[in-house]
Amino acid sequence: MINQMITETRPDTLHRGVKMALDTGEADTVEAAYTLFASYRMAIGLGPAGGQSPAVQAALLTMINCGRRALLGGVEVIGDLRVPLLVDLPGLGDTLGDAVVALGGIPRIEPSPKTPLTWLGDGAPAKTLQVTFGDWRGGVFVAGEGERLAEGANDIPAAVLAGALAVAEVFQRLRGNPMAGDRDVGLSLWDPRAPWRTGSGPATWVAPSKLWVLGLGHLGQAFLWILGLLPFDRPANVELTLQDFDRLALANDSTSILTNVDMVGRLKTREMGAWAEARGFRTRLVERRFAGDITLSEDDPRVLFCGVDNAEARAALEDPHFDLVVDAGLGAGPQEYLAMRLHTFPGPVTARTRWAEASIGRTAEAKVVATATAYKDLAGRGLDDCGLLEIASRTVGVPFVGVIAGTIALMEIVRRLNQGPSMGVLDLTLRDLSAMQGVDGQVPKRFNPGYTSLHW
């Protein structure tokens, strides 16, 4: 697959993580950029009895799913994988070992030399990166230099968050951030602005039963991943309206965690609908662009999650009059790819005000990027100016950022169903979570979108 990406370098094939090495000038050629990312790898240690917890399994599978797409050198897994698979995701087999291999993990007895080691559960060697979670909180710290949280078997959203944060720390360390992997960092999904070790929420809660998911790429698939991991009592009570108009491309495999290369060329709605149906959810598909010209019926979901990078569509998010809209957006470029921003509507500003002027500066930035050495090399191989500009304009992306944003977005909806705090705007970067900023949200006058129970 990597050879195909290199030999057929086009906007719809270029790996979105590898692209950052082109844009920064670190790599003089596409081949050199892929070689750099092939040197990135990580190992995950699974402590004794760790595989007997659904939440630990959810964290492990999230780490593998994100890690194999961002770190082209591979994700090694050390520990006993001969245990039943306890999370109900389709197509992963019967055992945890089956699932690890299906998602691209590499079972090993011990990690390869000089491979960064993260750890789930008991028995972490000193100075490794310990993953921990509890109720609504997830994070990482250096083993031996902090305390683990309770790590309850059903604390799945917090476990997914912690797993994605672990991959983020390893990736940043490999990319030259000296603090990453050597710090205590985490987040509370109950109160994101609170210190992560103190921002706890209720032990039991209900989940939404009807959702409209707009955009089925990087963010939309991350949102579905965490939704699919939740332990619903009756998955058939969950009804999803899935909207997109696009087909999957090879580049989607680098960021979108429900995509594999066998899906290339197929409609996103069909593939994600099939996955959701296999999970036991009910689905409806909308295969056209979102323009705000939707008249909601009584049967339609009243909550919309938006994961599209299109200013015109986002400006129209409030036009259909959903009771709640949760929009997630990610930073672009090799410096801002770790950033994310959450908006909810109704909120402090309207969607149309927020995205009134579309795509300002995007073309100019792409023209600057296209002057980097690797782009000149592509031009020398015959790629025309239009093709260069199109590649340069594509955003840099890594899957763990989308998973964290998708988890925060889903739990924003869950918090409101469970009388928790609401956010109007949340702005953060994984480069430094202490710089997070947020604005309180508005509680809609009418908010009864339907809910369903989970197995506790």
- High-pLDDT (> 70) share of the chain, %: 90
155 and 248 share a domain? no
pLDDT digits (tens, 9 = 90+) for 316-369: 999 999 999 999 999 988 889 999 999 999 998 999 999 986 545 455 555 555
What is the mean pLDDT of the segment spanning 136-155? Answer: 96
268 and 397 share a domain? yes
* Number of domains observed in the structure of the chain: 2
Domain extent for 288: 207-452
Q: Residue 83 falls within a domain, yes or no?
A: yes
pLDDT band at 118 (very low <50, low <70, confident <90, very high): very high
Q: Residue 199 falls within a domain, yes or no?
A: no
What is the mean pLDDT of the segment spanning 371-395? Answer: 67
Q: Is the torsion defined by CA of 13, 19, 23, 25 positive or negative?
A: negative
What is the mean pLDDT of the segment spanning 64-91? Answer: 97
Q: Residue 202 falls within a domain, yes or no?
A: no
pLDDT digits (tens, 9 = 90+) for 246-255: 999 999 999 9
Distance, CA of 428 to CA of 228 (rounded, Å) = 25
Q: Residue 10 falls within a domain, yes or no?
A: no
CB 418 within 8 A of CB 206: yes
181 and 252 share a domain? no
Q: Among 188, 218, 244, give the residue marking a domain's end.
A: 188
79 and 215 share a domain? no
288 and 425 share a domain? yes
274 and 308 share a domain? yes
259 and 368 share a domain? yes
pLDDT digits (tens, 9 = 90+) for 200-246: 899 999 999 999 999 999 999 999 999 999 999 999 999 999 999 99
Q: Residue 1 falls within a domain, yes or no?
A: no
What is the mean pLDDT of the segment spanning 112-141? Answer: 96
Q: Residue 27 falls within a domain, yes or no?
A: no
What is the mean pLDDT of the segment spanning 186-205? Answer: 93
167 and 235 share a domain? no
176 and 216 share a domain? no
183 and 221 share a domain? no
Q: Among 161, 188, 215, give the residue marking a domain's end.
A: 188
382 and 279 share a domain? yes
Indicate which residues carry an active-site annotation: 386
pLDDT of 444: 61
pLDDT of 7: 53
pLDDT of 453: 94
pLDDT digits (tens, 9 = 90+) for 262-281: 999 999 999 999 999 999 99
What is the mean pLDDT of the segment spanning 123-135? Answer: 96
19 or 10: which leads in pLDDT: 19
273 and 419 share a domain? yes
pLDDT of 359: 45
Q: Residue 9 falls within a domain, yes or no?
A: no
Q: Among 158, 188, 218, give the residue marking a domain's end.
A: 188
Structure pTM?
Answer: 0.94
What is the pLDDT of the chain when averaged over all its residues? 92
What is the mean pLDDT of the segment spanning 282-298? Answer: 96
What is the mean pLDDT of the segment spanning 49-77? Answer: 96
Q: Residue 133 falls within a domain, yes or no?
A: yes
pLDDT band at 448 (very low <50, low <70, confident <90, very high): confident
Could you tell me the CATH number of the domain that includes residue 262? 3.40.50.720
pLDDT of 366: 54
